[in-house]
Amino acid sequence: MTGGTARTTRPRWVAAGVLAVAVLVGGGTAALVTARSDGAREDGEQRAQGYGQGSGPGQGLPAVDSADAGFAQDMAVHHQQAVDMSFVVRDGTRDEDVRRLAYDIARTQSNQRGMLLGWLDLWGLPKVAPPGRPTAWMGAQDAPSSPGGTERAAGTDPDMAGMAGMEGMEGMDHAQDMTGANGTGQGAARPGAGTRMAGMATRAELKQLGAARGRAAEVLFLQLMTDHHKSGIAMARSCAERCAVPAERRLAQGMVDAQQAELDLMAQLLAERGAHPRR
């Protein structure tokens, strides 16, 4: 699709994805309350291992080792990097299509991240996963591979990601090195405890994106975000199948639908620039 047709349909694609998520998660606070009440009403469903059992904070709420908790913790970190990259590329290009896509990603994923962290608060669970392999809650057969040697420090505090440093870039580096002294990500920072999370851009890639301008910034952003979305879809699809809380399953399925539409759009934008996804 090229020329005037591409320019006309492109905003509709993105708008449709954002609208689907907005309808799904609309009402923010109401959805958070629903996540708690849904869990309490559906004790019998027991779809996630550990739901309402084991080390959870109370009967009818997800346990700390459940898919519900793992997805919320990991996706909060995953989303923060997408938000950061989106703001960075908006400073690196004047192209309206890429800037509009980046804005839509930043707005949607910021809202979703807030919901995920809010649920963890309501459930009385830590906002960060304990040290170990990210996405362990998915099971070995469902966990996405880690393209390009990407990494995240186990126990990264999602509230710290992107909050420090220049233009958000050192902030993202800092977040990748954050682990709690008490093993929960909420104590002192210390470097060197890296654990891979699929789809996350490397420090070198983030710095390259921050320095790029024009077409180079657009292509790199689209390639990095394509990798990011592919792993995000795998995580969200797993939650849609494994998570016990109905509101969280609905949110996860909305992520799958919206990010797949954005993947199609990013492939088109790359082709128009004579480029293609990295893998």
The per-residue pLDDT for range 84-124, each reduced to its tens digit, is: 999 999 999 999 999 999 999 999 999 999 999 999 999 99
Band of residue 257 on the pLDDT scale cut at 50, 70, 90: very high
Phi, psi of 194 (to 5 degrees): -65, 140
How many angstroms separate the CA atoms of 44 and 246, rounded?
A: 13
Rounded to an integer, the average pLDDT of 193-212 is 85
Alpha-carbon distances of 271 from 23, 218, 229, 257, rounded to whole Å: 31, 12, 18, 22
Diameter of the chain measured on Cα atoms: 57
Band of residue 17 on the pLDDT scale cut at 50, 70, 90: very low
Residue 205 pLDDT greater than 60, yes or no: yes
Which residue range(s) make up the domain with 141?
3-145+210-272
**What does the block give as tokens for 165?**
């440093």
Band of residue 58 on the pLDDT scale cut at 50, 70, 90: low
Band of residue 276 on the pLDDT scale cut at 50, 70, 90: very high
Phi, psi of 134 (to 5 degrees): -60, 150
> Which amino acid makes up residue 213?
R
147, 199 Cβ separation under 8 angstroms: yes
The least confident of 24-38, 39-53, 151-165 is 151-165
Q: Is residue 268 part of a domain?
A: yes
pLDDT of residue 75: 96
Length of the chain counted residue by residue: 279
pLDDT of residue 134: 79
Q: Is residue 204 part of a domain?
A: no
What CATH number does residue 72 fall under? 1.20.1260.10
pTM confidence score:
0.69
How many Cα atoms sit within 13 Å of 8 on the Cβ side?
Answer: 5
% the chain with pLDDT above 70:
58
Closest CA to 172 of 83, 96, 53, 235: 83
Q: Is residue 176 part of a domain?
A: no
Q: Is residue 162 part of a domain?
A: no
Q: Is residue 175 part of a domain?
A: no
Q: Is residue 22 part of a domain?
A: yes
Residue reference for tokens 């559906």: 42
Q: Is residue 230 part of a domain?
A: yes
Q: Give the total number of structural domains in the chain.
A: 1
Rounded to an integer, the average pLDDT of 130-136 is 79
